[in-house]
Amino acid sequence: MENVEDGGPIGEKLQKTENGIGNIVASHYNKLEEKGIHHRKESRIYYMRNFNNFIKSMLIQEYVDRILNNKPEEEEKKFNVLDIGCGKGGDLLKWGKYPVKHMVGVDIADTSIQQCKERYNQYKSKQRGRPVFTSEFYAADCTKTDIKNLYSEPDIKFDIVSCQFAFHYCFESYSQAVTMLTNITANLKPGGFFVGTTPCAYEIMSRLKKNESKEVGNSVYKISFPEDCDLDPPAMFGAQYMFHLEGVVDCPEFLVYFPLFEELAKKFGLLLVSRERFGRYFDKKKTNPEAQNLMKRMSALEAYPSDDLMGDKEQYSYPESQLTDTMRTIGTMSIDEWEALNVYTVFAFKKLF
């Protein structure tokens, strides 16, 4: 850790990207159109996106339950949420299922924030007078900005901080990771949880090694590193790659070396309580009746066999092997989608002090 804090060889490498990629990331997400559910159903990764939303829903439920169960009897059973990288507000309905008191959402893309505000107002209007959590949304780079200064109440504290599919951007540099973790911990109550999802550096590097290349992917995703970069080993910060996910993402990201992430988090009073790849997290949840009902409602899995499969027939060798005479269909996903989503990890930290 001393080399990281002092600059050293890592600091020298990062000078080349001193201005960062924030503008590139913001521009990419600002240009993404909100095309609605009917368009999403036509997407090659329709079920993968639904599955990712299912994983987020289960993660949110797990730690909301912990927060509410730990509240003293005399304390109001409500909680505050900070959503870092809230995007267009795709998780608003997930939080709306619970007794949220106040939500703050922050995202680097100002167009996404405007769409998030509109989505919140639409959600609020549909409640027909029923109580709705209050909210505020801001466009800011959480890797470079003290976001407390944006709030209507700068001293507000949150029970849960959520960062879904966005934490990896802070590993562009040591200073950006520190700023991000400062924003998380300065806003989180002791005993509160920081939860999120991020690509798994181990899995990415393992696939590159197996492929004997600086590029890996399939029909729905691609990860590629510059040909002239040194990956033996990759830099702890600033290990940049291009990530492409069909119709959703096409911009630079950074490897998150999790032991380093965990070590930095400890310095900010965050204790790791859970870290699991998406597939394993799904295996833990899939037998729960509530989770099974949610999977059906969210269309998190594709029915096989079907005349309208997302992938080619050979993409479904596993469900084909699992079918029995008593089964009409089985819930599944194409091999390419399963490979793409298993790049990701869920994690949760608890704030100790």
Single out the residue of 252, 259, 197 nearest to residue 233, CA to CA.
259
Report d(CA 71, CA 77) in Å as an integer.
7
Give the tokens for residue 125. Answer: 């209007």
What's the CATH code of the domain at 185? 3.40.50.150
Does the residue 207 lie in any domain?
A: no
What pLDDT digit, counting tens, does each position of 231-264 carry?
999 999 999 999 999 878 899 999 999 999 999 9
CB-CB contact of 171 with 255 (8 Å) = yes
Run of H or E residues at 53: helix 46-70
Count of positions (residues) in the chain: 353
Report yes or no on 318 lying in a domain. no
Dist. CA 225–CA 242, nearest whole Å: 6
pLDDT per residue as tens digits for the range 122-142: 999 998 878 899 999 999 999
* Helix, strand, coil tally for the chain in percent (to 5): 45, 25, 35
- Determine which of 16-25, 75-84, 212-221, 282-291 has the lowest per-residue pLDDT on average: 16-25
Asked if residue 298 is part of any domain, the answer here is no
pLDDT, tens digit (0-9, with 9 covering 90-100), for 286-327: 999 999 999 999 999 999 999 889 889 999 999 999 998 888
Tell whether 131 is covered by a domain.
yes
Of the two residues 147 and 26, the one the predictor is more confident about is 147
Rounded Cα–Cα distance for residues 25 and 173 (Å):
15
Question: Which range marks the domain in which residue 15 is found?
Answer: 2-200+249-286+345-351
Pairing of strands 270-277, 344-351: antiparallel
Residue whose token pair is 């005479």: 325
Residue 217's region, left for phi above 0, alpha for psi from -120 to 50, else beta, is left
d(CA 55, CA 162): 13
pLDDT of residue 131: 86
Instruction: For residue 169, give the nearest of 256, 235, 248, 268 by alpha carbon.
Output: 256
Q: What is the pTM of this model?
A: 0.90
Residue 168 belongs to a domain:
yes
**Diameter of the chain measured on Cα atoms:** 64
φ/ψ of residue 139, rounded to 5: -95, 115
What confidence tier does 13 reach under pLDDT thresholds 50, 70, 90? very low
Distance CA 255, CA 201 (A): 5
Average pLDDT, whole number, for the chain?
Answer: 91
Ranges of H-type helices in 200-286 = 201-211, 258-267, 278-285
pLDDT at residue 19, rounded to an integer = 60
Residue in the block written with tokens 């029995």: 324
Domain total for the chain?
1
**CA dihedral of 27, 31, 37, 40, whole degrees rounded to 10:** -80
pLDDT at res. 74: 81
Inside any domain, residue 105: yes
Integer Cα distance of 80 and 98 in angstroms: 11
The C-alpha atoms of residue 346 and residue 280 are separated, in whole angstroms, by 10
Closest CA to 167 of 253, 228, 82, 241: 253
For the segment 189-201, the average pLDDT, to the nearest whole number, is 97
Higher pLDDT, 246 or 204: 204
- Answer yes or no: is 293 within a domain: no
Residue 34: predicted pLDDT: 61
Asked if 203 contacts 209 with a C-beta cutoff of 8 angstroms, the reply is: no
d(CA 16, CA 12): 8
Share of the chain above pLDDT 90, in %: 79
Question: Does residue 124 lie within any of the structural domains?
Answer: yes
pLDDT in tens, 21-44: 888 888 888 777 665 555 557 788
Distance from C-alpha of 329 to C-alpha of 337, rounded to nearest angstrom: 19
